[in-house]
Amino acid sequence: MAALTGDALGVLTRDALGALDAADKLAAFRDRFELPEGVIYLDGNSLGPVPKETPGRIADVVAREWGVSLIRAWTEHDWIGLPLRVGAKIGRLIGGAPDSTVVADSTSVNLFKLLAAALEMRPGRQTILTETGNFPTDLYMAQGLTALLGRGHVLRTVDDPLGALGADVAVLMLTHVNYRSGAMHDMEAVTRAAHEAGALVLWDLSHSVGAVPLQLAADDVDLAVGCGYKFLNGGPGAPAFLYVAPRLQAGLKSPLTGWLGHAEPFAFGSVYRAAAGVARAVVGTPPVLSLAALEVGVDLMLRAPMAELRAKSVRLAAMFMALVGQECGADGFVLLTPADAALRGSQVSFAHPAGYAIMQALIERGVIGDFRAPDVLRFGLAPLYVRYVDVWDAVAVLRDVMRGGVWQEERFGVRRPVT
């Protein structure tokens, strides 16, 4: 689709996009999801849709596993193994080393645990380094942790974190794909730079897992966390995951020393002793129903070849950008997402002064993206279920919204450019 620029746009038709769908090797995956009629869902980067298999799976866990096995289900149905079992599957999605990923808690809590552990592993270094515009919970958790420790640690937030790496940085904490712009860091290069400065690196993969190819082991990543309810389609509030490189596991001290992270939880001893490996980062009893739902989403994702997913995601985004330029080029949208596919994840964002009103109008017309203050419209392009024609249809609705004048000066206090 290199021709998808400039004059070539004129020949891009809905039928041409339909032909791409007909040839799409991933097309069958769409039918594995419940997607309401009349909705174009471009917000799977915030809450993935429900896989058709999920309600039946949850019902089975409730009726058969919980209902019949009762407490025996912890062993009979291996509930106790869920965090490591589903973690291992997510480990495959992120290219992690074996036995290094576990499902636990929320992304926020996992950030706290791994940041605390990282500071312990770099005594004498006082700085958590991050970048301007990182996701708020990442910043807030770091702020709460440094205040709690009371040992003079600081969170430093800068525009150019690589330029700020120095002898005082204990850990570089970055979100791999930015939630607002969709811009993606070079994981391998950034990790290497952090290591050269003697720092650990902690990646937040919330907008990466299930969306872009990842190879944490090959990139020598130290620590990572990520979200289960976005591109993994694990359901609202799905538990999160965390990753610890094998070389760091024996020295990892989680600050939340719960009984299920104990070496022998069922010995019920009175003194904490960390479990071997990444299991020590588990805190308490796993949320079995939520984990069962997450496993369905992860299994579905594992069946789709990541190279195909990425190729489709890149192409969907290229078309979306090109079509917005073609159909709404004079409407004042500013592309926030890198045009270079190598530098972006699986979402496209635009800034627009009337962004909130425009997104409301889109949602009223069945095109669901989302809005992030002050002016960002986000469109997630999940290649597992978004079709090429959806991109066409979404931009057609956007064009109609703009032609309808939803952001006219008198309503929204912004000037409509002369078209």
Q: Is residue 54 at the binding interface for ligand PLP, with CB under 6 A as the rule?
A: no
Q: Which of 180, 315, 344, 378 is catalytic?
A: 378
Would you call 24 a catalytic residue per the annotation?
Answer: no
Instruction: Evaluate whether 405 touches 416 at the Cβ level (below 8 Å).
Output: yes
Please, where are the H alpha helices in 23-96?
53-60, 73-76, 82-93
| Nearest distance in Å: CB 176, ligand PLP | 9
Residue 230 to residue 236: CA distance in whole angstroms: 9
Residue 277 to residue 378: CA distance in whole angstroms: 38
| Nearest distance in Å: CB 45, ligand PLP | 8
| Nearest distance in Å: CB 402, ligand PLP | 28
Among the listed ranges 32-40, 63-71, 155-163, 203-211, the one in contact with ligand PLP (CB under 6 A) is 203-211
Residue from 107, 146, 157, 290 in contact with ligand PLP (CB under 6 A): 107
DSSP-derived letter for residue 367 is E
Q: Is residue 106 at the binding interface for ligand PLP, with CB under 6 A as the rule?
A: yes
Beta-carbon neighbour count of residue 231 at 10 Å? Answer: 33
Would you call 385 a catalytic residue per the annotation?
Answer: no
CA distances from 389 to 123, 301, 396 (A): 54, 22, 10
Q: Which C-beta is closer to ligand PLP: that of 46 or that of 127?
A: 46
| Nearest distance in Å: CB 137, ligand PLP | 5
Q: Is residue 227 at the binding interface for ligand PLP, with CB under 6 A as the rule?
A: yes
Q: Which residues within the stretch 122-151 sit at the binding site for ligand PLP (CB under 6 A)?
A: 135, 137-138
Amino acid code (one letter) for 85: R
Q: Is residue 157 at the binding interface for ligand PLP, with CB under 6 A as the rule?
A: no
Q: Which C-beta is closer to ligand PLP: that of 126 or that of 137?
A: 137
Helices 288-303 and 53-60: angle between axes, nearest 10 degrees: 140
Q: Which C-beta is closer to ligand PLP: that of 82 or that of 174?
A: 174
| Nearest distance in Å: CB 112, ligand PLP | 10
Q: Which C-beta is closer to ligand PLP: that of 104 or that of 227?
A: 227
The structure tokens listed for 140 are 């807030």
Would you call 25 a catalytic residue per the annotation?
Answer: no
Instruction: Evaluate whether 419 touches 330 at the Cβ level (below 8 Å).
Output: yes
Residue 389 to residue 375: CA distance in whole angstroms: 26
Task: Name 98's Cβ contacts closer than 8 Å, sequence gap at least 6.
Answer: 88, 91
Q: Which of 29, 112, 135, 385 is catalytic?
A: 135
Identify the residue whose tokens are 């490591």. 84
Q: Which C-beta is closer to ligand PLP: that of 205 or that of 361?
A: 205
Residue 328 to residue 224: CA distance in whole angstroms: 39
Residue 124 to residue 3: CA distance in whole angstroms: 54
Would you call 243 a catalytic residue per the annotation?
Answer: no
Residue from 30, 153, 185, 207 in contact with ligand PLP (CB under 6 A): 207
Q: What share of the chain is helix, strand, coil (3-state, %, to 5)?
A: 45, 15, 40
Cα angle 330, 333, 339; round to 5: 110
Q: Is residue 354 at the binding interface for ligand PLP, with CB under 6 A as the rule?
A: no
Q: Which C-beta is closer to ligand PLP: that of 127 or that of 206?
A: 206
| Nearest distance in Å: CB 279, ligand PLP | 21
| Backbone dihedral angles phi then psi of residue 120, each to the nearest 5 degrees | -65, -35
Identify the residue whose tokens are 């064009």. 399
Site size for ligand PLP (CB under 6 A):
13
Binding mask 160-199 for ligand PLP (x = CB under 6 A): ---------------x---x--------------------
Residue 88 to residue 363: CA distance in whole angstroms: 37
Instruction: Evaluate whether 147 touches 225 at the Cβ level (below 8 Å).
Output: no
Residue from 43, 131, 204, 222 in contact with ligand PLP (CB under 6 A): 204
| Nearest distance in Å: CB 207, ligand PLP | 5
Would you call 135 a catalytic residue per the annotation?
Answer: yes
| Residues forming the site for ligand PLP (CB under 6 A) | 106-108, 135, 137-138, 175, 179, 204, 206-207, 227, 240
Catalytic positions are: 135, 204, 229-230, 378
